Amino acid sequence: MNSLVFLILIILSSPLQGERDLVIVRQKVLVSGTTSLGKFNCDYTKVGSFDTLKVNSTKAGHSLSFQIPIRDFSCGNFILNSDFRSTLKADVYPFAEVKVNNLRQKSGKIYCHLFLDLAGKSLEFPDFILEKHKDGLAGNLCLDFVALGLSPPKKLGGLIKVEDQLDLQLLLGM
């Protein structure tokens, strides 16, 4: 019994719950949605920059911030790329910005404060969940065009429509 209590105390006081560093070497953003013809995926990946995020830090100022040129999103072909850029008003808002800070671990999950600036709209998610994956941390967010101040695109007089919901996945690779 004493050894069981001792083991529980060791587990609870392990450095997993204390402050620790995560070295981020890759940022990926995947935007997916559905049209009346099927699904689409547009992604952006930035590799090679190194940033360190602190988990459970009591000090302020530890954040990861990166800008995404809207023109660098790849949707699979030039028509979808053009439609995506047009929908996000890339000529007026050429960059999206993602900022992640205040990482904290609770109950096996990592929570953060996520700021997203997209198409001229600033959105804030104070308890965004990042889950551990083999490649790093990943979180999912459902947005709609109204929240972004945009209207879903239509083509061919409304025969081809994009559903109002967009799924955004953020991957921070370690």
The predicted pLDDT at position 13 comes to 44
Q: Are 66 and 56 in contact (CB under 8 A)?
A: no
Encode pLDDT of 129-143 as tens digits.
Answer: 999 888 899 999 999
pLDDT at 5 over 60: no
Ranges 13-17, 43-47, 87-91: which has the least confidence: 13-17
- pTM (two decimals): 0.81
List, in sequence order, every residue forming a beta bridge with 23; answer none if it has no partner.
52
Average pLDDT, the chain: 85
Query: In this structure, what token pair is assigned to residue 8?
Result: 């529980």
Q: Tell me which residue of 152, 161, 35, 37 sits closest to 86, measured CA to CA.
A: 152
Confidence of residue 59 (pLDDT cuts 50, 70, 90): confident
pLDDT at 3 over 70: no
Q: How far is CA 140 from the centre of its chain?
A: 7
- The per-residue DSSP string of 74-116 comes to B-SSHHHHHHHHHHTTTTT--EEEEEEEEEEEETTEEEEEEEE
Q: Write down the architecture of domain 19-173 according to CATH.
A: Beta Barrel (2.40)
Summarize the confidence of residues 90-109 as an average pLDDT.
92
Alpha-carbon gap, residue 27 to 67, rounded angstroms: 10
